[in-house]
Structure 1
């Protein structure tokens, strides 16, 4: 059983997992100071800040689910993943960085990443709508959503405000980054052994995302990085790399249905990504979201009193949409003189019932999840 202390810590917003102010001042503030001339009061303008072009649909490779060998009946698109494509301009990215790395944002909203390995690894979640108007507007603007939808092959909408521009930050010292480059070059020069399926160094190991689609935007200069690709495991066990994006570029991934891994890049001093999650805009399409990687009991960046109400709100919106659509289907059939289809009614209503039940079932926390939380707490103390 979870201890009363652990439960209270989670309900209080995992405050014990906040990044110390000393860590901010030592590692993040120097980066923020390079952005001091950036005007964060600028309003997002898609004509000025959106770099996407419709021609990318013909020039950017998009790998299908069939090509990955993982076709699923409840997938919402035949597109599995895209290669990196320009999404936001340099100015837009710099404004986002300036908003996110402010001390008042960082110290309130950042939390240690539950899979932190070396350096300063943290997440910033749920902040955008309240503290970063440019970032929030950039991701939620209809033109941006339309661009991402076109690359994903299905009309999407942001899953909920809490998942707008989820930030992952990893930091390393310059000495460590330099040594990594040297060691990698040395290994390549002597024909380093091939990495197997089971020992790929990863930021996040093999997993499926909690939401149907994600768009991952790079906010850091990756020109000096080595590696860092997303690796997707196909239906027959083959591993296919999807290139990591450069600064201002993004990739889309149907991560709920693709088993994938985020490999660890080498040679960087900072790596900041911004991730927004989506579901199909058509509420009648499959909606398979779960809370495995994002619930407050597992992801310390999800704040209990803020995350769960948003989860319930978006699920109730889907339930409402589906209820109205079911009503419309049978009213139209009646008006058109069609026979009542009881089997179809059963199918639609059972699906609605299951979706409603899954809303609360996903909020349950297993003893294993509580144990994992406690394990990381003990390791952090040591």
Structure 2
């Protein structure tokens, strides 16, 4: 779908110090290098689902983490360099709510680096170890989904987003707050950046690409099982938060004292095709090019179906070989008199596969249905 029409806005006056932008020509040849682009340290605290008064899921007992370092400064710059390139802004920008825009589907076509980063064994090991289950990107389309909070310059100002994040010095914050027409309470959810929701994918990794040293607001707020809420502080630049977002209702508070909040969200699903897969397209169909999204969606689902069928086949073949070896004096197949196929078992497998197929087509229904 095409982005909404641009609104007329006054030119933005950036109160933050902005350093020179990098030439876009530097992007094409940059290759992911874990020694250069990772700055990982384990999270200082991990919250379990039980800490939120929620039951552990079939995937993991882990709910979320405190922010932890993940991207080096150079990796932050390369993400921003690619994400705010002309190609991405021309082809991947969607404007679905007044306060923000989204950039989606840039990897690998417009950003080989971002694709390499989030598919790298090093990053996947970090994410999987923290989550307690082996994960892979849900689809390429769900790599580095970008949420950009709009400032006073509106949509037009997004095209002027610098590669080097504006420095959030205390003086710059004071100047920005003095120029704002009015203050907004951090707890005001009347115009949240993202409404209360659950994610389309089992796990999300949220990374901050802005200087958030003095940021007010921007927290992720989680709905607990007892109806109360818990705020998880926003990550600093280059830091990440991992969240089992398909199973936890959450929202994001607006930032009240900065003209820029750029976060990226990479979504993950279990690598093991036999694990529960509750992935949907519920939150992304209205902000995607559906021809590409549905191709990636269908091929990933068919791959899971093929792997599940192969696993069922191999299980039956192994069971049959065991039955033959134990029951036939000559150990020869072809007339095994021991039951290999459990009717109840195969009926359940078929019913599960039918539901999975039905869910696959349901998630490609018309927008608004």
Q: How does 1:291-306 map to 2 (within 5 A)?
A: 291-295=281-285, 299-300=286-287, 302-306=288-292
**Aligned twin of 1:5:** none
Cα pair 2:101 2:150 within 8 Å, conserved: no
**Inter-partner Cα distance in structure 2 for 1:245 and 1:170:** 15
Deviation at 1:350, TM superposition (A): 1.2
Answer yes or no: is 1:346 the counterpart of 2:347: yes
Answer yes or no: is 1:252 the counterpart of 2:239: no
Deviation at 1:33, TM superposition (A): 7.5
What secondary structure, in the 3-state scheme, does the structure 1 residue paired with 2:50 have? helix
**Aligned twin of 1:190:** none
Answer yes or no: is 1:164 the counterpart of 2:147: no
**Aligned twin of 1:315:** 301
Cα pair 1:229 1:241 within 8 Å, conserved: yes
Pick from 55, 58, 70 the counterpart of residue 87 of structure 1: 70
Deviation at 1:71, TM superposition (A): 1.4
**Aligned twin of 1:375:** none
**Aligned twin of 2:104:** 125
Answer yes or no: is 1:45 the counterpart of 2:29: no
Question: Which residues of structure 1 form unaligned runs of 5+?
Answer: 1-13, 188-193, 371-382
Deviation at 1:115, TM superposition (A): 2.3
**Deviation by residue 1:167-186 (Cα, 9 ceiling, x = unmatched):** 111131387654569846xx
Q: 1:181 to 1:342 in 2, by over 3 A?
A: farther
Q: 1:132 to 1:31 in 2, by over 3 A?
A: farther
Pick from 220, 224, 233 the counterpart of residue 214 of structure 2: 224
What secondary structure, in the 3-state scheme, does the structure 2 residue paired with 1:205 have? strand
Q: How does 1:169-318 map to 2 (within 5 A)?
A: 169-173=148-152, 177-178=177-178, 183=183, 199=189, 201-295=191-285, 299-300=286-287, 302-318=288-304
Deviation at 1:261, TM superposition (A): 1.1
**Deviation by residue 1:24-50 (Cα, 9 ceiling, x = unmatched):** 99699x999832268423211012211
Cα pair 2:53 2:224 within 8 Å, conserved: yes
Q: Report which stretch shifted further, 224-233 or 103-112.
A: 103-112
**Deviation by residue 1:191-241 (Cα, 9 ceiling, x = unmatched):** xxx959xx5652112111111111111111112310211111111111011
TM-score, length of structure 1 as denominator length: 0.79
Pick from 54, 60, 67 the counterpart of residue 77 of structure 1: 60
What secondary structure, in the 3-state scheme, does the structure 2 residue paired with 1:36 have? coil
**Inter-partner Cα distance in structure 1 for 2:11 and 2:139:** 31
**Aligned twin of 2:364:** 363
How many positions carry a matched residue from both structures? 330
Q: 1:15 to 1:195 in 2, by over 3 A?
A: closer
Cα pair 1:232 1:241 within 8 Å, conserved: yes
**Inter-partner Cα distance in structure 2 for 1:230 and 1:292:** 20
Q: Report which stretch shifted further, 237-246 or 63-72.
A: 63-72
Deviation at 1:290, TM superposition (A): 1.4
Q: 1:324 to 1:25 in 2, by over 3 A?
A: farther
**Aligned twin of 1:191:** none
Answer yes or no: is 1:147 the counterpart of 2:126: yes
Cα pair 1:200 1:263 within 8 Å, conserved: no
Superposed CA RMSD: 2.9
**Inter-partner Cα distance in structure 1 for 2:365 and 2:351:** 21
Q: Who wins on radius of gyration, i.e. which is larger?
A: 2
**Deviation by residue 1:65-107 (Cα, 9 ceiling, x = unmatched):** 11112215x5311111111111110011111111111223212
TM-score, length of structure 2 as denominator length: 0.81
**Inter-partner Cα distance in structure 2 for 1:328 and 1:24:** 64
**Aligned twin of 1:8:** none
Cα pair 2:187 2:253 within 8 Å, conserved: no
**Deviation by residue 1:274-296 (Cα, 9 ceiling, x = unmatched):** 1111100001000001111011x
